[in-house]
Structures are given as C-alpha cells and as structure tokens.
Structure 1
Amino acid sequence: MSTEQKTAILTESGTNELEIIEFRLEKTQPDGTKKLCFYGINVAKVREVIRVPSTTDYPNAQPNVLGVFSLRGKLIPLVDLAGWLGVPTHNAVDTKVVIVTDFNRMSNGFLVDSVSRIHRISWEEVESPSSFLEASDQDCVVAVVRQDSNLIMILDFEKIIADINPELSMEKYDVTKDKRVVIDDAMVAKREAKTIMVVDDSAFIRRLIENTLRSAGYNVITAKDGQEALDSLTEFVRLCSEENVPISEFVDGVVSDVEMPKMDGMYLVKQLREIEEFKIMPIVMFSSLMSDDNRKKALDLGANDTITKPEIGRMVGLMDSFVLKDE
C-alpha cells in the first residue's frame, strides 16, 4: 500500500474512520516476569516497518536516540521508544523491529519489540484517555482503543519528537517576536473582540495553539476531540436562539486537528457545515497529516484552509485573514 493510499484512508469522504497499526513492548517486571504493553499509531503516519538497521552514533544526541541510519538516501534518527516511555524491556535488538514514521515533514525510526496487526475502526470507538486518567501537558497518550480485551494506547508522537528534538519543536515559536504578525494596540483590540475554538486531542499541541492565539490577543476556548467540540458548538446555537443573539457572541472561528477520538476533524467540519450558524464560519485544519490529498478533502468538506504541523507561525496571520477580514 502506498503512502498516498494509506493517508487517504484517514479522510475518506469524511467517514470518521481510521486504521491503526498495533505494536507491542515487552515490559520486564521487577520480579523478572514479562508483560505485554499494547500501543498504536495511525497507519497514515507510518512509512514502513523494517528490521533493525545498523546505526551511526550522533554527537550530543538525546539519551533515547540510539543513532542515525540511512534509508533510501535519507538520514533518519532511531529512537528507543521503550526508553522514552520508561518501559524496561529486553536488550535483544536483533528480535526487535523499527517503525519508520513520516509526518510533520520529518522521518523518524522508533524501535519496538514487535508489530502485531492493523485494525480498521471508527473514531467513535476511540476513547479519550481522560476516561482513564487525568489528561495533562505531560501525557503521551492521546487516545485508547479496546481490542480483544486489551487496551491499545495511541501515543502522542508529535510530543515525543518535540521532546527528542527541541530545536524542531513548535514550543520555540513566539508570536510576539514574529515580525510577520502585527501586534499593536489596534490589532490586539480587534482580536480581543474575537473568540477562537481550538480542537485537538493532544494537551501539548492544544496548549501551544492556545498560547499562540492568546499572545496575539484572541480569546480561546478549547475542546479535546471533535465530539466535545460539536457538543459545545451546538449548545452555543441553542443559547443563540434562546437569547436571540448571533453565534459570534460565543465563537468566531475554529482551529481543528484531524486525528481525534470519538470524532475526527474532517467529520467535524462536515457536521458543522450542515448547521446554518456554521455554514460560513472560518474553519482551519491544523494537522501533521496534511498531504495534498488531505488538504483537498478538507477544502472539499468545507474547511477554509489548512496548516501542516509544525507551521504554527502561520496560525495568527491565517486566522486574521478570515476572522478580521470585515474589520
């Protein structure tokens, strides 16, 4: 299956479905016994699964980066995923495999004990981790899937990569120092009159987007998945009808991820464009999986524009162009 075919599964006509690759780490318990830990990653983020390659040490690398290897002419870092997660596992590297990912315009290799199979599921079957634990900025689990009496943890690979390579992290972006963004009293005042809803299942990404928009002056409300966003937005519609005020009293635009539990971003756009109050509201998709094909699908479903992570520097300017265009 080609990368384009795999990525197309994610947003096929806004069906709210995805495919995940289940992989495993074999945890060594304090008493020496073994326990299988189940994890998952969206197929659309995976370039291929390979045997463990020979690596070359990289100077001053983060402790869990085992080195770099060459694959099809490209140098790729190899990350010890178990080490990053704090899962003690065996050291027999020759029995392990590497998941090579391709998203955020970067390729990375993740060392795991085994890859099991692919599950095709509905996002409605994907649960928020807050059902099991309190979400925080430190969480590396963005969703949970129940399969065959096992809990498969869907990991926040954007957070993992940002931690391993801080130089490439969106955390380094400071909108107040971006000369492309006007931040004077007049512009801040205009933004302060507007409210943006940010929808993302990653607390880490959600916080970065919120901080960027707030630093420029915007009011921000958040939702951790598409269903929570839709529920909040439809409640705003009810309140507008009850109080006889326009929807802009509550929200002026939406920034949404694509991959999310319960309801993905594409399906959220599709649902919103069927509601009168949201037919022309600015909606921008912000995703690590925004290929040309997915961008076309997002626009066809009604999104105004798309941003590929980690281009958070485009966020404020793009929202200004839609939300403040009549100011």
Structure 2
Amino acid sequence: MSKVFFKAYSQSLNDVTIMSKSDAILLESGTNELEIIEFHLEKHLPNGKTKTCYYGINVAKVREVIRVPETTDYPNAQPHMIGVFSSRDILTPLVDLAGWLGVPVHSDIDKKFVIVTDFNRMTNGFLIDSVSRIHRISWNDVESPSQFLEAGEQDCVVAVVRKENKLIMILDFEKIIADINPELSMEKYDVTIDRSVDLNQAMVAKRNAKTVMIVDDSAFIRSLIQDTLTSAGFNIIACKDGGEAHEKLVELAEHAKAEGVGVSKFLDAVITDVEMPRMDGMHLLKRLREHPDYGDMPIVMFSSIMSEDNREKALALGANDTITKPEIGKMVSLMDKFVF
C-alpha cells in the first residue's frame, strides 16, 4: 500500500500533525471494520450560541485534511462551489459543505479546514470547521439512519455512529458531488440509449426470468442501480445494508431448502457496495462464500473506493468481478455475463 498522509487538526495545539494512512486498516479482507474521520461544523443558533454538528467520512475516501488553500473563482460555478485549487497538480473544486447541508456557520474562512477526498476517480475539497480524530469501529456499530428517521432518496445521511454520547452522521458524499455537479453523476447514464446493451425483446424476456439483489446504503445509488437493471429487464430485490442482505439471503436459503429446490430458483446474482452499516460488503461476501448455498452465486462489488488493492481483496474473497463507481454502464453487461 502506498504511503499517504493526513494532516489532522490538533484540538489542543491548534496545529497540524501528521498521521500515516498506512496505519489505517481501511478494508482488510472481511474483518467488518473501518476507520472514520470525525469532523465538525459549528452551527450558529438564533440566540447567538453555537452547536457542534458531528459528521464522519471513511478514511479510505480521504486523501488529506489541510488548512484552507488559496482558491480561484471558477466561471459559472455550481451552487455551493467556493472556487478551485490545486491538490497535487489536480484541479480540485472546493465545496461549501455547510452551505449544501443548510447549516449556518461563521464566515471566517481562515479558521476553517478542508477535507480533500479521492473516490469515484474524482478529487474534491469540502470546507469544514474542524477535525477531531480517527475512530476505528466495527460496521456492527454503524447504524442505518432509518432507525432514526424515514430516509428517502433525497437524504444525505447513509449511516450513524454513536460515540461518547454523540451521534456522528456519515454523509453520502457521492450524492453531494452528484448534486453539485450533475454532469458527473451516474444519473446521466440511460441504459435504454446504450448501444452496447442488448435490449431486443428476446433478451429482455430472458432477463425477466432473472432476479438480482442489490445492496447499498445510499437510497440514491440503490435507485439508480434498480432503474438501470429493471430497464434492461431484470427483477430486483433491494437491501439497504449488508446486515439486511445477509438476513434475507439466509431466509431465502432456508425457504429454498423447505421447497426442496436450489436457492438459484429465487435469486441469480448479488451486486453489493462495500461501505455499509451493520455489515460491509467485504464481510458479506466472505459470509456468503462460506455458506453452502452461496458458494457459486455470482457476486459483483460496486464501490466508490474500489482501488486495485481493494479489487484484489474482493477477488481473493470470492467476488466474480468489481465495478468502480460511477461506471454503472458496465452493470447490465456483467449481469448478462454471469447469469446466462
């Protein structure tokens, strides 16, 4: 693993300290653990006081945390885009995260920090007030937001972590980026006009006999995957996290056994994200390959952090293939390859 550094804010000294990303576990093969960076926005209240809002992001998505760099205005910029700056020779947009979230904060930019992210083959900067620390946690301790509220497709919180009497909201950064820059969004993809996908009546009818389970904690991403696959003819079972998927798959295996048939009678393939509450995709993959009914089930990993290293881990655990978000255009072809 290449050595990448985080410049993390020190609460006690107001300076910048260095931590090696090589010390982070990222996504060890099937351990069901992750590390998140806790960061804050200081919300201004009507009475003049402030309230700390706690947020988190997977370490695997973060390139570095820096003080606010010099930025250049960009013509006709999207809403909440402050400007652009150079990050390791890459032109990087700086996003006003508080503005996008609708959180009123102080405007003194010199006292703020920037989380520079690197996923979906894109680099972006997000303006924040402070960084606290890195937490190493189990996905078992990461809760679905639906346990707190009814999360719809427009919700930007994909998970919640309880730490030291506070709730840390894990944000859906893919959705934030897609909202700020729609041209880069997977929403732009339309399978019905993709000439590389066979949509003749006979092929669509063949797909109508196949069922695919999609597993993703983002309602936004789940909807996009479901629209793509159903438009091509597939039937869909959708799950909001690895825990729900595992429970449904075990129940499905038990039902198939009671019926005296193979589980493939009811399900033909699984497409799963990696980062999810309760059980991550790597651990789900490991559990399924250990299950007697899912040893040969086609399983494809679809993730924004599918680096070469993580791809190797996924394949070693038994994944049939991987797709890096936002390459949703590959999904139908891969399903055709594995289920027919």
Aligned 8 A contact 1:6 1:43 in 2: no
1:35 pairs with one of 48, 51, 58: 51
Tell me if 1:141 matches 2:157: yes
- Which letter maps to 1:2? V
Distance 2:146 2:323 in 1: 27
Cα deviation 1:166-207 (Å, max 9, x = unaligned): 000000100010000000111101100000000000000000
Query: What does residue range 151-170 of structure 1 map to in structure 2 within 5 Å?
Result: 151-170=167-186
The structure whose residues are more often helix, as a share, is 1
Tell me if 1:104 matches 2:120: yes
Distance 1:205 1:300 in 2: 25
Distance 1:146 1:31 in 2: 27
Tell me if 1:93 matches 2:95: no
Distance 2:24 2:142 in 1: 19
- Tell me the CA shift for residue 2 of structure 1: 2.1
- 2:4 is aligned to 2
- Tell me the CA shift for residue 121 of structure 1: 0.3
- Tell me the CA shift for residue 277 of structure 1: 1.1
Query: What does residue range 37-56 of structure 1 map to in structure 2 within 5 Å?
Result: 37-56=53-72
Tell me if 1:319 matches 2:335: yes
1:117 pairs with one of 133, 136, 146: 133
Distance 1:35 1:214 in 2: 44
Distance 1:90 1:211 in 2: 40
Distance 1:103 1:79 in 2: 15
Question: Which deviates the most, 151-160 or 58-67?
Answer: 58-67
- Tell me the CA shift for residue 220 of structure 1: 0.4
- Tell me the CA shift for residue 49 of structure 1: 0.6
- Tell me the CA shift for residue 8 of structure 1: 7.1
Tell me if 1:179 matches 2:179: no
2:85 pairs with one of 53, 69, 81: 69
Cα deviation 1:111-137 (Å, max 9, x = unaligned): 000001000000000000001000100
2:290 aligns to what SS in structure 1?
Answer: coil
2:226 aligns to what SS in structure 1?
Answer: helix
* Alignment gaps of 5+ in structure 1: none
Tell me if 1:238 matches 2:240: no
2:208 pairs with one of 158, 170, 192: 192
- Tell me the CA shift for residue 249 of structure 1: 2.2
The count of corresponding residues between Structure 1 and Structure 2 is 324
- Which letter maps to 1:111? L
- 2:242 is aligned to 226
2:25 aligns to what SS in structure 1?
Answer: helix
- Tell me the CA shift for residue 5 of structure 1: 5.0
Tell me if 1:275 matches 2:291: yes
Cα deviation 1:204-262 (Å, max 9, x = unaligned): 00000000000000000110111100000000011111111221222100000000000
- Which letter maps to 1:178? D
Aligned 8 A contact 1:8 1:293 in 2: no
1:26 aligns to what SS in structure 2?
Answer: strand
2:319 aligns to what SS in structure 1?
Answer: coil
- Tell me the CA shift for residue 33 of structure 1: 1.1
Distance 1:294 1:316 in 2: 22
- 2:320 is aligned to 304
Aligned 8 A contact 2:24 2:35 in 1: no
Distance 2:161 2:260 in 1: 41
- 2:224 is aligned to 208
- Which letter maps to 2:242? G
Distance 1:6 1:148 in 2: 26
Aligned 8 A contact 2:24 2:59 in 1: no
- Tell me the CA shift for residue 10 of structure 1: 2.7
Aligned 8 A contact 1:7 1:44 in 2: no
**Identity of matched residues, %:** 70
Aligned 8 A contact 1:8 1:294 in 2: no
Distance 2:87 2:217 in 1: 31
2:274 aligns to what SS in structure 1?
Answer: coil
Distance 1:147 1:43 in 2: 17
Distance 1:54 1:181 in 2: 45
